[in-house]
Amino acid sequence: MAHTQSQRLAYGNTLVELAKENNNIVVLEADLSKSTMGSIFEAEFPERFFEMGIAEANMASAAAGLALEGFIPFMATFAVFATGRCYDQIRTGICIPKLNVKICGSSAGLSDYGDGSTHQSVDDIALMRVLPNMQVFSPADSVQLTQIIKYMAEHHGPMYIRVNRNELPIYTDEAASFDPKRAYLLKEGSDAAIFATGSMVHRAIEASRLLEAEGISARVINVPTLKPMYAEELKPLAHGVKALVSAEEHSRIGGLGAALAELFKDMPHPPLDILALDDVFGTSALNYEELLVHYGLTAANLRTIIKHRLAQ
């Protein structure tokens, strides 16, 4: 397995790096900066750091105001709060006027394994994808997160990024620059195609290796941009295989699988199998891996899905 790094640390460190070159970058937090690692920015630029307290809706409105004054606000809290508690402010105050606000959903998916359903975001992709003018990103690792944060700072408009709480293996080339139009082919394969996003990318890689040991060739595609999605980039990667599957740490409603189903609906291809949470909330567990196993978000389950499809 590739070495692992923290997306949260990459978030804080990247903002500091960018802020040294761009005086317009500011950071807003909602009482969780020690967890999101916005505290790294606070230590370097206390005059450009705004602690808003447990008042996420107010934070979103303040970020909108800062954007109107020409600043580039990055607002962060846990993903479940960043999207849910201030949805109206994001919709009305940020997306309708197309303001340059960057929303960072930390501890995304099930990665806050100990705090249960109230703190786990299994619906944030769906909430952000449906908003006009919003771009949505789900990086596979800390290197890709760094690249996306740089892209967010350099390009105008509302944007949302998922940040995992736990360390993830590195598969992204550090020398590369992020292109939102791209899906990244990480492994070639001829029998099956796995489209994965975020934390499920490395599990897709593991599944392809398990299948390879059984003589089955599976390509792995990392899909970090969940909105907008580019048919000319994704459709060719779905061609020529007998099994097609998506994998995400999110509800099957409104996430990567649903987006691909919309995109592939007119294509001649095998049925799309979606590995995701069913229509359920999260729950607490002793560790992250235990929770992923509970919901079937594993390399072994991906292998089973693909073998079942190929056997039909």
Query: Which CATH number do you get for residue 264?
Result: 3.40.50.920
Statement: residue 1 has pLDDT above 70: no
How many domains in the chain? 2
Q: Would 143 be classed as within a structural domain?
A: yes
Estimate the crossing angle of helix 299-311 against helix 200-212, to 10 degrees.
50
* Boundary (domain end) residue, out of 169, 204, 229: 169
Residues 162 and 208 occupy one common structural domain: no
pLDDT at site 230: 94
Give the span between the Cα atoms of 160 and 130, in whole angstroms.
Answer: 12
**Same domain membership, residue 137 and residue 208:** no
The reply to whether 110 falls in a domain is: yes
Q: What pLDDT, on the 0 to 100 scale, is given for residue 46?
A: 98
Mean pLDDT value of segment 237-252: 97
pLDDT at 268: 72
Judge if 32 and 58 occupy the same domain.
yes
- pLDDT of 2 reads 66
Q: What confidence tier does 3 reach under pLDDT thresholds 50, 70, 90?
A: confident
- What average pLDDT does this structure show over 40-56? 98
pTM of the model: 0.97
Q: For residue range 185-197, what is the model confidence (pLDDT) as tens digits?
A: 999 999 999 999 9
Instruction: Point out the domain boundary residue: 117, 144, 169.
Output: 169
Kindly give the pairing relationship between strand 218-222 and strand 192-196: parallel
Expressed as residue numbers, the domain containing 36 is 4-169
Provide mean pLDDT across the span 175-203: 96
Does the residue 176 lie in any domain? no
Domain boundary among 112, 138, 169: 169
Mind listing the pLDDT tens digit for each residue in 89-136? 999 999 999 999 999 999 999 999 999 999 999 999 999 999 999 999
Amino acid at 47: E
The pair of structure tokens assigned to 33 is: 């900066």
Q: Are residues 302 and 156 in the same domain?
A: no
Q: Are residues 142 and 220 in the same domain?
A: no
Mean pLDDT, range 8-26, rounded to an integer? 98
Q: What is the mean pLDDT of residues 74-101?
A: 98
Q: Can you give the CATH number for the domain in which 32 is found?
A: 3.40.50.970
* 174: in domain: no
- Based on the domain organization, do 28 and 156 belong to the same domain? yes
- 3-to-147, 167, 187, 220, 248 alpha-carbon distances in Å: 18, 9, 18, 19, 21
Report how far residue 91's alpha carbon sits from residue 129's, in angstroms, rounded to the nearest whole number. 11
Same domain for 200 and 155, yes or no, is: no
